[in-house]
Chain A
């Protein structure tokens, strides 16, 4: 099905009152959660996963997409008014945004972030609609061997290419792979890594792990070095952009969107790289008379560009998730597990077998995007009030929801022990700068990769060379090796060339 007729069908299904209601609820919840410092869309969708038992798939995914887009809008509000980026993609927004707020320009910063998110969301969603089907056509030609190589590439890029250190990123990934191995092996029925504990036969639940990493670990880490004191929420001022502000924002919005989207589509994940690139680009491209505002009073270009890049990259992540079934961010991994709980396996077949669901989901992304830009600015006073929830009550509340979300899985105290135990590991991961997203990605993608590996080797009758004799598979593996070794070789080359 081509994009136009797909979208027509999708909008037809998404524009029913009940589905619009799901979208609105998702946008509202997502923004509120995105505004709260320290928690994000992955945790929210994980806690909302029980919805999948009660609601049909379309409604649930419209809700999740609303949360996904909403949390990105909300995140920028926090970085601007509080100077505490809620997630890694907002760090750059906080740089200039918080400076603008300190100089009484919080209003324009919030508007440029919101409109920039809308522009980026639109570019990103258009990208999903038109690039998605093309990727699907290519993906249908891939066999298990190519799939396994693609997953290896994905593992390398999400853990070793971005972030501080390949060693630490890969360790996080390995931890996730181990968690994914726990339970009964589907092919042979053997219990694996259960240490004789019957509760572990069903495997470790992904909701439990996400909640432990993103809620319990975060709370423990905050308590570890807690110093009492209040954070100041900057006043919003007038929500209005002058003509100059508009003129200065349009370029960065578009550049940020077109820079961010490809980063999301490539199985690289991560929003740090595109937001940083956008920031440096805008710093270079800014008119000389405004250059002095960067890093001092706050330049609007430095909010508009990175914020657009952040949202476009996050939207781009949906392309590999929907077309290949490869999650490259923690949120995408949780959404993938939601598909699995409906018995749907995302991948190239999704666009043909579940065409109605996919196109309704994509249409609801357009709807959520419009809802968010309309809702957000008028409601910004409400979001600012959410920021004023005192730290003790906020984190006590987060733990209550973390506990009920985990206990609800199977009413087992063993799950709570696991939740708090993995939470303690997550606290140390935060302290020692181990990324947490690869854990969730490894846990979801690991079992899929193992299945692809075994299928490929069954087809080749146990011949491991199948991965390097099939040209596409070999190409992907070379790419993965280059992604792993490339940055280090480049650094070495630069060091040897530098005059002593």
Chain B
């Protein structure tokens, strides 16, 4: 077969997906096996359905891998085939935004962590005005905080700024 695939061989990417699903199924089977046996009597115990779902995922993973080996399905997805190349800058900045949130939220509180995340996500999508984003970000995160904590009555935890409010 002399087919050319844009983006460096999509059947290989499809095979990766198939193997991932297979792995997920095997992991589920292991987790089902690890469920302790119940001392209670039951017609269907706690393990039956996890085993079943795990087995189904293994079968589906094999099916997807087989489909990938026959050429894959990505070439039929117009959106993926016509997509521009991976934007590493956008993904990197967005990923940094998510990591910042995880690292800072317990320490500095939601408002500060989310404001930093807001600025990073804006620049990921090409905003060139970080100071303006910072100002909007503070308003948006404070608004979200007040809406959730005061109107919906959700506890958003303590933080540096939340303590003052």
Interface residues of A (CB under 8 A from B): 48, 50-51, 53-54, 164-165, 167-168, 170-171, 174-175, 177-178, 181, 185, 187-193, 195, 219-220, 222-228, 390-393, 395-397, 399-401, 403-405, 407-408, 411, 413, 416-417, 420, 428, 431-433, 446, 450, 453-454, 457-458, 461-462
> Which chain A residues border B53 with CB–CB below 8 Å?
174, 177-178, 181, 446
Query: Residue of B at shortest CB range from A228?
Result: B126
Asked if B43 and A167 sit within 8 Å, CB to CB, the answer is no
> Which chain B residues border A192 with CB–CB below 8 Å?
31-32, 35, 46, 50
Query: Please, could you name 10 A-B residue pairs with CB atoms under 8 Å apart, sorted by A?
Result: A167-B63, A171-B64, A177-B53, A191-B35, A193-B28, A219-B121, A392-B123, A397-B140, A407-B105, A458-B42
Report which residue of A181, A223, A225, A457 has the largest number of chain B beta carbons within 10 angstroms of its beta carbon: A223
A397 to B138, CA, bound (A): 11
Nearest first, the 10 closest Cβ-Cβ pairs linking A and B are A392-B125, A396-B121, A408-B154, A392-B127, A188-B38, A228-B126, A392-B122, A223-B90, A185-B46, A50-B152
A454 to B137, CA, bound (A): 50
Query: Residue of A at shortest CB range from B98?
Result: A420
Asked if A396 and B137 sit within 8 Å, CB to CB, the answer is yes
A381 to B158, CA, bound (A): 40
B56: Cβ under 8 A from any A Cβ = yes
A228 to B102, CA, bound (A): 27
A177 to B73, CA, bound (A): 24
Query: How many B residues touch the partner, as a band?
Result: 35 or more
> Which chain A residues border B74 with CB–CB below 8 Å?
432-433
A103 to B74, CA, bound (A): 34
> Which chain A residues border B156 with CB–CB below 8 Å?
404, 407-408, 411
Q: How many A-B residue pairs have CB under 8 A?
A: 201
Asked if B126 and A226 sit within 8 Å, CB to CB, the answer is yes
A293 to B61, CA, bound (A): 45
Nearest-neighbour CB distance to chain B for A195, whole angstroms, equals 7
Q: Which of A164, A189, A420, A431 sits near B102, CB closer than 8 Å?
A: A420
Q: Which of B40, B44, B117 sits near A403, CB closer than 8 Å?
A: B117
B114: Cβ under 8 A from any A Cβ = yes
Nearest-neighbour CB distance to chain A for B93, whole angstroms, equals 8
A408 to B40, CA, bound (A): 36
Asked if B152 and A227 sit within 8 Å, CB to CB, the answer is no
Report which residue of A191, A226, A404, A453 has the largest number of chain B beta carbons within 10 angstroms of its beta carbon: A404
> Which chain B residues border A219 with CB–CB below 8 Å?
94, 121
Asked if A178 and B121 sit within 8 Å, CB to CB, the answer is no
Asked if B114 and A400 sit within 8 Å, CB to CB, the answer is yes
> Which chain A residues border B106 with CB–CB below 8 Å?
413
Q: Which of A178, A185, A190, A453 sits near B57, CB closer than 8 Å?
A: A178
Asked if A50 and B153 sit within 8 Å, CB to CB, the answer is yes
Asked if A188 and B43 sit within 8 Å, CB to CB, the answer is no
Asked if A392 and B152 sit within 8 Å, CB to CB, the answer is no
Query: Assuming the A-B contacts A225-B87, A393-B133, are A404 and B114 also in contact, with contact meaning beta carbons closer than 8 angstroms in the complex?
Result: yes
Report which residue of B17, B46, B80, B141 has the largest number of chain A beta carbons within 10 angstroms of its beta carbon: B46
B77: Cβ under 8 A from any A Cβ = yes
A482 to B154, CA, bound (A): 47
Asked if B46 and A433 sit within 8 Å, CB to CB, the answer is no
Nearest-neighbour CB distance to chain B for A429, whole angstroms, equals 9
Given contacts A178-B53, A222-B125, 13 further A-B contacts (CB under 8 A): A181-B53, A190-B46, A193-B32, A193-B35, A226-B125, A396-B118, A396-B121, A400-B140, A404-B110, A407-B156, A408-B152, A416-B101, A432-B74
